[in-house]
Amino acid sequence: MQAEGGAAGAVHGSLQSGALTTTFTASQGFLLMLPNMYKIAGELTSCVFHVAARAVATQGLSIFGDHSDVMSARMTGFALLAASSVQEAHDLALVAQAATLEGRVPIVYFFDGFRTSREENKATLIPDEQIRAMIDDDLVRAHRARALSPEHPVLRGAAHNPDTYFQAREAADPHYARMPGVVQKAMDRLAALTGRQYHLFRYAGHLEAERVVIAIGSAVEVLDETAAWLSAHSGDKLGVLKVTLYRPWDADAFLAAMPPTVRAVAVLESTKEIGAPGDPLYLDVITTYARALSAGKIKTIPLIVGGRYGISSKDFDPSMAKAVFDELKKPEPKHGFTVGIDDDVSHTSLPVDASFEIESPETVRAMFFGLGADGTVGANKNSTRILAAATDRYAQGYFVYDSKKSGSYTVSHLRFGKKPIRAPDQLKSANFVGVHVLNYLFKFDALAAAAPGATVLLNKRTSRRSRAERRQPLESRMALGGG
């Protein structure tokens, strides 16, 4: 196809022929698919679009991750299902396919571009026989039976006039009303097969939490680990609510997952809707609480504020998560805050204590500074895979490089330990630092992340010397600048 718009059109046509069809996309390409997505959803066609969510070009182009692209699809009629880790990215893809076949609502299944899509981590793969068990053959046959065919002609995709369009638009509501239940049913079926249970909304933390942060995507893992550490060391009653199924929004499931003791809530989002009173998830949370209060389901509404993090893959680490929890202590926490940047224009940013860390001393942490295309990233990926596959230990690798890629600098962040590693953030302190380009020592502080007692490796290519130079004592060569 010439572009993603054509690819989505091909998907639409293939689905109408009764074939099981999918596609993969992100960012600007995803936006080109939106017109066809309205058609696919309007015709209640089972389908999954897999998206590594990335930033949309605004004042500049960015190839990095946030939720700007997927949030633009809220009105298409596609369900929005999100994963927050490498393991979930594997598991929930199967849940999405099983659910769309039963519910007939197409699904945008997404996870964080770069932060999750480029992360190396140990995961348990679903065996083929369990994948087959998740898919109902009768539903596949029903999908094929709905195909357009001259053998049983039907009219689909016609033009509607005002006398019928409105009514037909509302007629799809029952499918969306039952879709959350269909997704939870698929999650339960996966749990019966694999032992890994997922929920539309998953709460973790103190059972009587007073401060709760709500988020979608990989930030949830950082928030989970930070809340657990703070609760254990300070006694604070903290919690984290992860949103897995964002559309269709299930208000009852949301309220059932939230602890009734909550007094202050921060809704964290990795997108920005300029001009709105809040970003998308924040508005859904506010609306849910307001409607529950007006219907008499709850007696009070907690204090709720919204904030942004991680736009264009801006790192989100435990010190920033702590800043959000700390902000909720205030009588009037800031609404529309940002975390992870220093906003000296609108002054929305929260103060962050960069020295705060929760890394376990048992976790081996290593950083490698390399040059794009010099093989450093590839070698570190192989090291991560070998150490995770050949031992009973866990390994994680994440690789930072800018949009110039080849010829620019790269930083590899590796973690190894005896326990599962849930740390989708960049290393701030490393036991080992490898610098593969000596000039980096003079261009930026490559050793800033070296922990006390860390091992530092300077990988320097030795130049050719004459036989006479090699015979010189070391002290003489250093005096001459020979290294």
Confidence of residue 155 (pLDDT cuts 50, 70, 90): confident
The pLDDT assigned to 469 comes to: 55
Q: Is residue 467 part of a domain?
A: no
Q: Is residue 299 part of a domain?
A: yes
Is residue 271 within 8 Å of 242, Cβ to Cβ?
A: no
Name the more confident of 446 and 171.
171
Residue 325 sits in a domain of what CATH number? 3.40.50.920
The pLDDT assigned to 477 comes to: 44
Residue 95 sits in a domain of what CATH number? 3.40.50.970
Q: Where does a domain end: 338, 356, 380? A: 338
Q: Which domain holds residue 421?
A: 364-458
Q: Is residue 471 part of a domain?
A: no
Q: Is residue 473 part of a domain?
A: no
Q: Position 416: which residue type?
A: F
Q: Are residues 38 and 171 in the same domain?
A: yes
| Upper half-sphere CA count for residue 331 (Cβ side, 13 Å) | 0
254 pLDDT above the threshold of 90: yes
Share of the chain above pLDDT 90, in %: 82
The pLDDT assigned to 271 comes to: 96
Round to whole Å and give the CA distance between 186 and 133.
11
Counted domains in the chain = 3
The pLDDT assigned to 52 comes to: 97
Q: Are residues 16 and 145 in the same domain?
A: yes
Distances (CA, A) of 93 to 108, 167, 197, 249, 422: 10, 33, 14, 19, 20
Q: Is residue 152 part of a domain?
A: yes
Q: Are residues 40 and 163 in the same domain?
A: yes
Name the more confident of 388 and 334.
334
The pLDDT assigned to 467 comes to: 57
The pLDDT assigned to 49 comes to: 98
18 pLDDT above the threshold of 50: yes
The pLDDT assigned to 444 comes to: 85
Q: Are residues 150 and 11 in the same domain?
A: yes
Share of the chain above pLDDT 70, in %: 95
Q: Are residues 91 and 161 in the same domain?
A: yes
Query: pLDDT of 112-146, one tens digit each?
Result: 999 999 999 999 999 999 999 999 999 999 999 99
pLDDT (average), residues 351-377 = 91
Q: Are residues 178 and 30 in the same domain?
A: yes
Strands 120-121 and 394-401: antiparallel
Round to whole Å and give the CA distance between 147 and 275.
43
Q: Are residues 54 and 185 in the same domain?
A: yes
Residue 181 in tokens: 């239940």
36 pLDDT above the threshold of 70: yes
Q: Are residues 60 and 107 in the same domain?
A: yes
The pLDDT assigned to 481 comes to: 43
Q: Is residue 357 part of a domain?
A: no
Name the more confident of 460 and 306.
306
pLDDT (average), residues 52-66 = 94
Strand partners, 231: none
The alpha carbon dihedral of 11, 16, 17, 19 has a sign of: positive
pLDDT (average), residues 155-182 = 94
Query: pLDDT of 461-481, one tens digit each?
Result: 765 655 555 555 545 444 444
Using alpha carbons, select from 438, 379, 449 the residue that is nearest to residue 409: 438
Q: Is residue 261 part of a domain?
A: yes
Q: Are residues 240 and 285 in the same domain?
A: yes
The pLDDT assigned to 478 comes to: 45
Query: pLDDT of 278-330, one tens digit each?
Result: 999 999 999 999 999 999 999 999 999 999 999 999 999 999 999 999 999 99
The alpha carbon dihedral of 450, 456, 459, 462 has a sign of: positive
Average pLDDT, the chain: 92
127: left (phi over 0), alpha (psi -120 to 50) or beta: beta
Confidence of residue 430 (pLDDT cuts 50, 70, 90): very high
Residue 469 in tokens: 């130079």
Round to whole Å and give the CA distance between 157 and 180.
26
230 pLDDT above the threshold of 50: yes
The pLDDT assigned to 474 comes to: 47
Q: Are residues 184 and 209 in the same domain?
A: no
Residue 449 sits in a domain of what CATH number? 3.40.920.10
Round to whole Å and give the CA distance between 18 and 40.
13
Q: Are residues 154 and 177 in the same domain?
A: yes
Q: Is residue 475 part of a domain?
A: no
The pLDDT assigned to 472 comes to: 56
Q: Are residues 175 and 299 in the same domain?
A: no
